[in-house]
Chain A
Amino acid sequence: NAGVTQTPKFQVLKTGQSMTLQCAQDMNHNSMYWYRQDPGMGLRLIYYSASEGTTDKGEVPNGYNVSRLNKREFSLRLESAAPSQTSVYFCASSARDPLSYEQYFGPGTRLTVT
C-alpha cells in the first residue's frame, strides 16, 4: 500500500515549456486534489476532483489544467510554464469530502521554472 505517489520528484523547466505532473493513489479514495506550496507559506488549492469524472477549480487555477484519468490517477498539466509557477506541488486524496475525511498527501514535486 503505497498511499499517494507523485512523479517526478524534481523538475526544471524553461519558460514556455509544458509538462504534466502525475499523481496516483491506491486507497480507493473518491476525491483528489492538487496544491502548490510557495516558500514560507501554506498550501493553496489549484484544482480538485470530487469524484471520478469531475474536476473543479480551486483558489489558484490559472495556468493549469487537470485530468482525472480514472479513480486512481489525477494529473496536473502546465501548458506554458512561467517563473511564477516555481513551487512545490502536492497531490492529495480523501475518501470523500473534507467535511468528514482527512486528506492524505503525496511527497511532492519540486518544480523550478527558469
Chain B
Amino acid sequence: SQQGEEDPQALSIQEGENATMNCSYKTSINNLQWYRQNSGRGLVHLILIRSNEREKHSGRLRVTLDTSKKSSSLLITASRAADTASYFCATVNTGGFKTIFGAGTRLFVKA
C-alpha cells in the first residue's frame, strides 16, 4: 500500500506563478523526501526533511513538514517551463531502507 498520497494529482499553472503540492502519510517517519521525474526518466532527488524539522529551503523550493498532521508540502516559487515534471514524496520509516513513494503530482508549467 502507498504511504504517501500527493494532492493534487495534476496541476497546471502559468510561468512565474507558484506551485504547491501536498503529501499525506500514514505512519511515523524518520524523514520525508521529495523527488522530481521528467517524462520517461529516472527520479532526481530534490530535498530531504527530517522528522524533527518543520521547514527547509533549497533555491526556489520550500518544504514544510507537520508530523502532527502527517503531512508535508512542496512549494516551487516563480515556476519555469522547465519545472514541468511529476513530483513525488517519499517517506522513510525508522527501519531505514524501505522508502515508500506516493503516486505523484503532475505539474505542467505553461510558458
A contact set with B: CB distance below 8 Å: 4, 31, 33, 35, 40-45, 48, 50, 56, 58-59, 90, 92, 97-99, 102-108
Q: How many interface residues does B have (CB within 8 Å)? A: 24
Name the distance in Å between B38's Cβ and chain A's nearest Cβ. Answer: 11
Query: Which B residues between 67 and 111 are near A, CB-CB below 8 angstroms?
Result: 88, 90, 92, 96-104
Cβ contact within 8 Å between A40 and B97:
no
B: which residues have CB within 8 A of A?
A: 2, 4, 30-31, 33, 40-45, 48, 88, 90, 92, 96-104
Known: A59-B98, A90-B43, A107-B41. A40 touches B103 (CB 8 A): yes
- The reply to whether A107 and B42 form a contact with Cβ atoms under 8 Å apart is yes
In the complex, the answer to whether B43 meets A43 with C-beta atoms within 8 Å is: yes
In angstroms, how far is the closest chain A Cβ from the Cβ of B21? Answer: 13
B98: chain A residues within 8 A (beta carbon): 45, 48, 58-59
